[in-house]
Amino acid sequence: MESIKREILSIDQSVVIEIREMCVPGFNKFVFKFKPDVILTFPFTCEGFSRWYYLFKMLLGPKIISLRAEGVVDFSNEYNVQWAVGFDNYGCTLVDYELFWGEKLAQVVGKQLLQQHKLSSMVRVKVVGYPRLEAYFGHNDPHMPALPSRIKQKLNGYKKEHVVLFITGFHLANYSKQNLYDAKDLNAENMIDELLEAVEISKRYRSEWIANVIAAANENPDALIVIKKHPIEKREDYEAFNSMDNILFIYEDIQVEEIIPYVSVFFHYGSTALVDAYLSKIPAIYVYSQKNKQWYSDLCWPSSMRVAVNEIPVTVKNFLSGNLLFEMSPEIRLVLKEIFSIEDDKPYRPSREIAKLIIDPAPPQKIKITDLYFLKALGSIILTMVRSRISMILKKIGIRKRRI
């Protein structure tokens, strides 16, 4: 968001910009007070997320731009693709632009949005790239904080050739049945059995992963094993790493591109962060479990090696004593082009492309007063407010009775 803000101001310094979290109390009141001309928002993938945006657009008339948070999308998995499309219900005049990292997802998801009448035209699908990756093209964020001293000190104590990076992404393991329903973006009403099975798979896989990373650290005392957890995972799930001198567990909210210059190999479970290994030109190793095929895919992206989770210790040992080299293959170039819009000798400024669309003078689509999606959203908001008011009144009555 900060990089997009800087690009907007570099084009037009008169623009007033606010960056706000949408889930904090008071967000809706702020929007009505600020009266924005444009809202850049998280995509409408969660059930019910669009309803307030209908009110924003009807009463304030802003252009609404959805910035896709793509993450891991396995095109061979129908549910995974539908997850990327989203489970909210809204009409084709709400979103003015859908912004994607690359052409492949833009076409697949864009066409689904069009077929589901959530988009009025494929012209409103825009491919802009992935802003986080700008650091690899010389566009560093001046506001990016330095690595914490505990991390930098540990990394500087080892040669790069002896530093191995693992990333984790087993947050699904912490979901309860109620969490799955509350998420609103998993189609839990129709998929609860499959999702609960996925939770158990994640728990087992995380346990295997932790045990074998610890074994790798024990069997390779001269190596530094760096583990970066996913931002929404719990720190306490990996307490077993704390007692190991040659394990650096990174629980802080730090981007992969800040760590990867210090490492020589990248172990992953099927993450889009594999692109960081590509752009840093270091070998990557995909770790799989026989029980995780449906929920932890390698996305059909090339890695230097594929190993079973119980082969982590010997793979680390072989890498440190061997000569596994990175090769920029045609398959990797294709992934960079199709998924991230990265091509050789072409400038890469996603934040600038997004900024141009934000300040583009083209008018927003209009929502008709008779739009059924708008009327449904309005009814839902009114009902929620009435229920909240009644609950507040009943609570006050209850307090008075207890005092009497």
Which is nearest to 45 in space by CA: 18, 63, 22, 28? 22
CA–CA separation, 208 and 162 (whole Å): 23
The answer to whether residues 174 and 234 touch, using CB atoms and an 8 Å cutoff, is yes
Which is nearest to 60 in space by CA: 382, 364, 397? 364
39 forms bridges with which residues in the sheet?
Answer: 64
Q: pLDDT-derived band of residue 401, with 50, 70 and 90 as boundaries?
A: very low
The pLDDT value given to residue 398: 66
Summarize pLDDT for 88-105 with one digit per residue, the tens.
999 999 999 999 999 999
The pLDDT value given to residue 79: 87
Which is nearest to 265 in space by CA: 220, 231, 235? 220
The pLDDT value given to residue 77: 85
The pLDDT value given to residue 13: 95
Q: Tell me the fold of 141-340.
A: Rossmann fold (3.40.50)
The token pair that represents 403 in the structure block: 């005092």
Question: What average pLDDT does this structure show over 372-383?
Answer: 93
| Percentage of the chain modeled with pLDDT above 70 | 96
Q: How many CB atoms are closer than 10 A to CB 229?
A: 22
Q: CA separation (Å) from 215 to 40, 132, 166, 305, 311?
A: 45, 33, 14, 19, 10
Q: CA separation (Å) from 372 to 50, 58, 89, 94?
A: 13, 13, 11, 12
Average pLDDT over the chain reads 91
Summarize pLDDT for 223-254 with one digit per residue, the tens.
999 999 998 899 999 999 988 999 999 999 89
The pLDDT value given to residue 296: 86
- Residue appearing with tokens 């070998």: 283
Q: pLDDT-derived band of residue 295, with 50, 70 and 90 as boundaries?
A: confident
Using the predicted structure, report yes or no on whether residue 138 has a pLDDT greater than 90.
no
End-to-end CA distance of the chain: 53
CA–CA separation, 265 and 329 (whole Å): 17
The answer to whether residues 94 and 53 touch, using CB atoms and an 8 Å cutoff, is yes
Q: pLDDT-derived band of residue 76, with 50, 70 and 90 as boundaries?
A: confident
The pLDDT value given to residue 144: 66
The least confident of 3-7, 72-76, 152-156, 362-366 is 72-76
Q: CA separation (Å) from 4 to 310, 347, 356?
A: 42, 16, 10
CA–CA separation, 228 and 285 (whole Å): 15
Using the predicted structure, report yes or no on whether residue 403 has a pLDDT greater than 60.
no
CA–CA separation, 279 and 135 (whole Å): 10
The answer to whether residues 88 and 45 touch, using CB atoms and an 8 Å cutoff, is yes
Residue 83: strand, helix, or coil: helix
Which is more confident, 144 or 163? 163
Angle at 225 between CA 221 and CA 228, to 5 degrees: 165
Using the predicted structure, report yes or no on whether residue 315 has a pLDDT greater than 70.
yes
Question: What average pLDDT does this structure show over 15-40?
Answer: 93
Summarize pLDDT for 320-342 with one digit per residue, the tens.
888 788 999 999 999 999 999 99
Summarize pLDDT for 164-199 with one digit per residue, the tens.
999 999 999 999 999 999 998 989 999 999 999 999
